[in-house]
Structure 1
Amino acid sequence: MGEVWRGFDETLDRPVAVKLLLPQDTDPTAASRFRLEAQTAGSFNHPHVVGVFDFGQHEDRLFLVMELVEGDSLARHLTTTGPLPAGQVAQIAAQAAAGLAAAHQQGIVHRDIKPANLLLDADGTLKIGDFGIARFVDDPAAALTTTGQIVGTSLYLAPERALGRPAEPACDVYALGCVIYQLLTGRPPFQADTAVAILHQHLDTAPVPPRQRGADIPAAFENYLLALLAKQPSDRPEAQQVADWFATGAWQGRSEPMPAPALWPGSVPSSGHNAPSTQLPYTTEAGPATTYALPSPAGHTRRSRASRRRGGSNIRTLAAHRPRVAGLVAAAVTFLAAMLAGVLWFSPGSSSAETPQTPTPGITSPTTTQEPAGSATVTPDPSSTASLPASIADHPEREPEQKQRGNKQGKHEEGEDD
């Protein structure tokens, strides 16, 4: 299309690049495309886009005065040095995506992102050049192409462009993904003997993961690069998102600290004060976050031993923390104690002589004293010892048997309390 010369701006006293349009006898749109490049690149200013300073015509030849980039294109870097390290590629990707984002915000689609159009200056800053076939998104006529003609380089052409659809910003993102892939592996994601075969691969073939081609990159880098090469435009991130992702170092895949596990509903906070604990938040819909202290295993062991020494106090300790459970336990113990008293009262060892069915003059009925929940003890009235039934008075040898049965009953009740 043209030649690029190193020049010098005598008015502003600075070196410049002068792009001179060559005669285009076979391309009647060449002059219009050249003017479009000047208008497009000159419509915005960005540190990662080659700036346009002037445009004119001399001796029937159009020229474009541009910012001079002291460096080589990425295409020449690949030829001389081969694949680049992941850190340098990430830096290039962030800068190229930032330049594309600035163009997209102006409604401009580059449509020809490739290594030859990405320049690196002396300090490693990337510049996007050659907006010669750029297209304004809101002006289809600005593409300057005939119906059905595909403009762009087939190695970096998005699938939707291969189908002849209008160019959108997502096309530039896809092309940038192809360039990044080539910078990492030394080859574009798709290659074939003909342009048509390459277009079919863009449409139907999944790219080989770059790490399988020898690229030394983190898994996060690879996954994000494959997202840039998604077949559907809606599945690709926007250019500004790509720039931010690479600029923040997310491509390194640094692991983030895992959040502390939340305490599940129904867990019981610890009542210990001396045992070391871990503060964990638990949030409910009814209120703000509540922090519980989970005891260490050592603290749990100390409390268990103390509970065993206290015997029956285990139930009371549990009841202090779980009122609902305590109520159920107390009710169950009371019920069992009542059944035990009934079994002992009506056991086969008792006879009508020992337990009269009807009140007898001179005999005092046993007195039942109220004990705390969980125990039931029947104690005879001390005054009844002088008025025992004749059956017991006549057979004093049965008294020890009754006392022994009472001792067994007391021991059984004590064990039940434990």
Structure 2
Amino acid sequence: MLTAGRYRLQDVIGRGAMGEVWRGVDEMLGRPVAVKLMLPQDSDPTAVSRFRLEAQTAGRLHHPHVVGVLDFGEYEGRLFLVMELVEGDSLARVLAHGGPLPAERVARIAAEAAAGLAAAHRQGIVHRDIKPANLLLDADGTLKIGDFGIARFLDDPGAALTATGQIVGTSLYLAPERALGRPAGPASDVYALGCVLYQLLTGRPPFQADSPLAVLHQHLDAVPVPPRQLGLGLPPAFENYLLGLLAKQPEDRPTAEEVADWFGRGAWHGAPEPLPQQLPGQDAAPSGPPVVDTQWRTTVHRAAPRRPRKPSLSPSRLVAVAGGAALFVLALLAGMAWFAPDEGAARDPQAEPSVSASVSPEAAPSPGAPAAVTSSAQPAGVPAGGGGEEEQEEEDEGDE
């Protein structure tokens, strides 16, 4: 069958609610193509505009991980869309025939799918229907995103529930905000991608139930089972980041560009990262090999910058400062005593009072503490325990 005078259709390779996809050849350029023909949509008055939207949105994207649009038109009353032919299976077929995939391959799929989504998001395009059937692998395993602009789910989930054949597949990958009737945004695509990655790793989507409505409730309220609890040998960094893609609040998820970068640079292996630089007022780290943080750094969003702490003295420094102050006071008193006038020289040597050392009962020393020395005789005019003010000052300084 020849369409539009140049596209020779060979066999059907896919079918959806809106159209069927044929393998074909562009006889004018002599290259293989995929041609999507729109099916009659008597019950859906928006079908034509949605089909045109797919052509317009995908036609604006030129990215290695997005199925390219080559032509669009109408032939014998049917709209058609010509795309590059992806010679490979969809992830839906890969799951159906091969089961779960190893972490290494899933990480590559995650990086490529997120890169394609990031390109779309930069153009203001939200896919709204990321699922295994719309993620295609070409002959060398490179992932390409297809079916841009086809809204399998209407913005009103209540109306979508009545669309037979649409809710069952899509509800498994529906972001919580969409289940609440809110418009789809870039974060909705990231959530759907997280659901797909979870299924590629474990062989099952994160949420399953007997009805689409029950699945929607799980997206809103349930916590996905960590893959490692299902017996999967997955690096902790990979698991934590994956669960971050499934965060209930859109603002808690990374962007598609961040996802592509994280998986693309191999962070999913979970290599420890260096600790942050020393903050002002902190003690310098001892010399030696650099200290690394062995905690898995998989937080999705950047933490708010911490305010520098006010400089504070450590206990060892506090003791050193107090001891230095006491020595200074003692040195000052000794100097005053050394250079003070010698009043005793004018006295009668026989009248010089004798001084003996004794332990005061009131100041019995505690174990390891020095004994208190008291004087048994004092010069005239000096009360017992003379020099009390200076000694008290000395003691006060020591207490400080």
TM range (shorter): 0.5 to 0.7
Q: How far apart in 1 are the matches of 2:148 and 2:289? A: 59
- Choose which of 99, 102, 118 in structure 1 pairs with 2:135: 118
Which residue of the partner structure matches residue 409 of structure 1? none
Task: Give the corresponding residue for 2:224.
Answer: 207
- Corresponding position: 1:183 with 2:200: yes
Kindly provide the CA deviation profile for residues 279-332 of structure 1, in whole angstroms up to 9, marking residues without a partner as x: 99xxxx9xxxxxxxxxxxxxxxxxxxxxxxxxxxxxxxxxxxx89965642542
Per-residue CA shift, 1:181-228, capped at 9, x if unaligned?
A: 101110000000100110111111111111112232211111111111
Contact persistence 2:155–2:181 (CA under 8 A): no
C-alpha displacement of 1:126: 0.6
Please, which of 39, 43, 49 is the counterpart of residue 26 of structure 1?
43
Indicate the residue corresponding to 2:261 in structure 1: 244
* Aligned mates of 2:64, 2:352 — CA distance in 1: 112
8 Å Cα contact 2:128/2:149 also seen in 1: no
The one of 106, 128, 147 equivalent to 1:130 is 147
1:35 corresponds to which residue?
52
Q: CA deviation at 1:132?
A: 4.3
Superposition deviation, residue 261 in structure 1: 7.1
Q: Summarize the alignment of residues 1-400 of structure 1 with structure 2, pairs less than 5 Å apart.
A: 1-134=18-151, 148-150=158-160, 153-258=170-275, 328-332=326-330, 335=333, 354=350
Q: Deviations over 1:36-82 (max 9, x none)?
A: 21111112211111011011222222221101111100011111111
TM-score in terms of structure 1 length: 0.62
Q: List runs of 5+ in structure 1 lacking aligned partners.
A: 136-142, 268-275, 286-321, 358-418
SS in structure 1 of the partner of residue 273 of structure 2:
coil
Report what 1:291 is aligned to: none
Q: Summarize the Cα distance change of 1:162–1:245 in structure 2 as closer, same or farther, 3 Å threshold.
A: same
* CA distances 1:155-196 after superposition (whole Å, capped 9, x unpaired): 001111111111111111111110011011100000001001
Task: Say which is worse superposed, 166-175 or 182-191, in terms of deviation.
Answer: 166-175
Unaligned runs of at least 5 residues, structure 2: 1-17, 161-165, 291-307, 309-319, 354-400
Change (3 A) 1:154 1:134: closer
Q: CA deviation at 1:114?
A: 0.2
Cα distance in 2, alignment partners of residues 175 and 238 from structure 1: 12
Identity of aligned residues (%): 68
> Per-residue deviation at 1:109?
1.1
Check conservation: 1:89, 1:183, Cα contact below 8 A: yes
Secondary structure of 1:72's counterpart equals coil
Q: Deviations over 1:131-160 (max 9, x none)?
A: 24259xxxxxxx977795237610001111
Query: Deviation of residue 243 (structure 1)?
Result: 1.2
Whether the 8 Å contact between 1:52 and 1:66 is mirrored in structure 2 is yes
> For 1:198 and 1:91, how far apart are their aligned partners in 2?
28
For residues 130 and 175 of structure 2, the distance between their equivalents in structure 1, rounded to whole angstroms, comes to 11
Shift of 1:102: 1.2
Q: Per-residue deviation at 1:265?
A: 6.8
Structure of greater Rg: 1
Matched residues, number: 296
Distance 1:110 1:261 in 2: 43
Q: Name the amino acid aligned to 2:185.
A: E
The answer on whether the counterparts of 1:46 and 1:99 sit within 8 Å (CA) in structure 2 is yes
CA–CA separation in structure 1 for the residues paired with 2:177 and 2:79: 33
TM-score of the superposition, structure 2-length normalised?
0.65
Q: What RMSD in Å do the two structures reach over aligned CA positions?
A: 3.6
Determine helix, strand or coil for the equivalent of 1:149.
helix
Q: Structure 1 or 2: larger helix share?
A: 1
Cα distance per residue 1:215-253 (max 9 Å; x no partner): 322111111111111111111111111111111111111
Distance 1:257 1:356, change over 3 A: closer
The verdict on how the C-alpha distance between 1:145 and 1:179 changes in structure 2, with shifts beyond 3 A counting, is closer
Distance in 2, Cα, partners of 1:22 & 1:83: 34
C-alpha change, 1:234 and 1:353, in structure 2 (3 Å) is closer
CA distance in 2, matches of 1:246, 1:279: 29
Instruction: From the superposition, tell whether residues 162 and 144 of structure 1 become closer, same or farther in structure 2 (CA, over 3 Å).
Output: closer
Counterpart Cα distance in 2 of 1:277 and 1:164? 58
